[in-house]
Structure 1
């Protein structure tokens, strides 16, 4: 954990008995010194969760700006930024579905991105929705003369599947990794205590590798999307599209 990411944290998790509305724990202090986070984490079981530590890109340090963001059964986390968001914000916010606007609680570019993706059909066609969100951001930025506006790694989930995205307008995105199949790691490291008790169905998507096990992490390619789901996972090319 980078000590520079101390502008808040959040965890969203789903009930053990299946998808439903996720619970949220968010705070404005550093995750590493939050006693409530340690208590809740030690006492909570969940089949799927998203976690985030925040480094503000200029918006206020407040609870409503901490990830994950939630709408009904959906969660969203974002690492990155929209360049010159203050100049682009009005046009982007006006594109949000009026029925979704009341749930826009904070002031971040990340939450606006989430609501735009919801506007463009995240619940039915997640990949298309995020591509349209990215396309709108780039279109609005061009109109305002803002170059290379979008930098993002995103994870979003409905409680059953996780969609992850790695993209930037300049073609040099922040890092994103997914875990090697646990069955392969069990074969490579049969005596490693850290792997004991983990199901072969366990998968992680992270901004940076955790631990030092060689071969444990695979990079998500530039301009790609991935889906983690029961059965076979998927990986494909990400291409912004006009809504």
Structure 2
């Protein structure tokens, strides 16, 4: 499983979260404490927002701990909103196009988890994408597919509904193929103004997610705390949908859409 961290608030240098703390995201890339595997060395990436609507994006296949360019960028780049990710591959080769975050227009997206039986379901699931979004696909991961499916389901207009419909579609396709919808989804995404996150698993065992307010007055979302001495970390409950805006955070229950029931009705 991967590790990730996201921030929204007053502008700060990326190193404040990504590389400087004692248990920073870079530290978690070789010594994660709350993941199935301690090492997340199959690449990394950062997406940050500045003066332009679309995010800047830097990704590479090197382990985060061994790339001096990442350390230098994090020391020099400051942002009011950014997403950062270190990858432990569960499917798809180790390539730059398979590294998170993914971006499309003003949107960025990253994910910790997997679609079970992705190899068996991939052809059916990718047929759900309209041509314009399928043509944007650069890599081979289930994570990038989920991002594009959420865009297809109306992410621009309704982030919560798009996520619920995307998860419902994956579940429906898996069940129609006679497979268990073994979906684990702790994802984070942004349009450059709001930071959203989703914690869901079809078996009830969702990957970890925490949030805390920073000394600067901003707010973080992380796979695991980067500063164990800080007492303000709160676990986000499973089956939750989080929205963080400059004026605060809201949390609501997450329920996947049920298309089968809709057809019966």
TM-score, normalization: structure 1?
A: 0.89
* CA deviations over 1:162-185 (Å, ceiling 9, x no partner): 010000000110100011x34xxx
Contact 1:65 1:106 in 2 (8 A): yes
* CA deviations over 1:68-111 (Å, ceiling 9, x no partner): 00000100000000001011111111101222111100000000
Aligned twin of 1:222: 238
Equivalent residue for 1:199, pick from 182, 205, 216? 216
- Residue 214 of structure 1: CA displacement? 4.4
TM-score, normalization: structure 2?
A: 0.82
* CA deviations over 1:121-180 (Å, ceiling 9, x no partner): 00110010011110011111111222142101000000100010000000110100011x
Aligned twin of 1:41: 74
The gaps in structure 2 that reach 5 residues or longer are: 1-27, 31-38, 260-265
Aligned twin of 1:5: 40
CA RMSD of superposed structures (Å): 1.2
Q: Distance in 2 between matches of 1:63 and 1:145?
A: 33
Equivalent residue for 2:189, pick from 152, 156, 169? 156
Q: Distance in 1 between matches of 2:89 and 2:145?
A: 15
Q: Distance in 2 between matches of 1:214 and 1:39?
A: 26
Aligned twin of 2:178: 145
Which structure shows the bigger proportion of residues in strand conformation?
Answer: 2
- Residue 213 of structure 1: CA displacement? 2.4
Aligned twin of 1:52: 85
Of 143-152 and 101-110, the range deviating more from structure 2: 143-152
Aligned length: 224
Q: Distance in 1 between matches of 2:65 and 2:224?
A: 17
Equivalent residue for 2:200, pick from 167, 170, 188? 167
2:144 is equivalent to residue 111 of structure 1: yes
| Higher RCO (C-alpha 8 Å, min separation 6) | 2
The gaps in structure 1 that reach 5 residues or longer are: 183-197
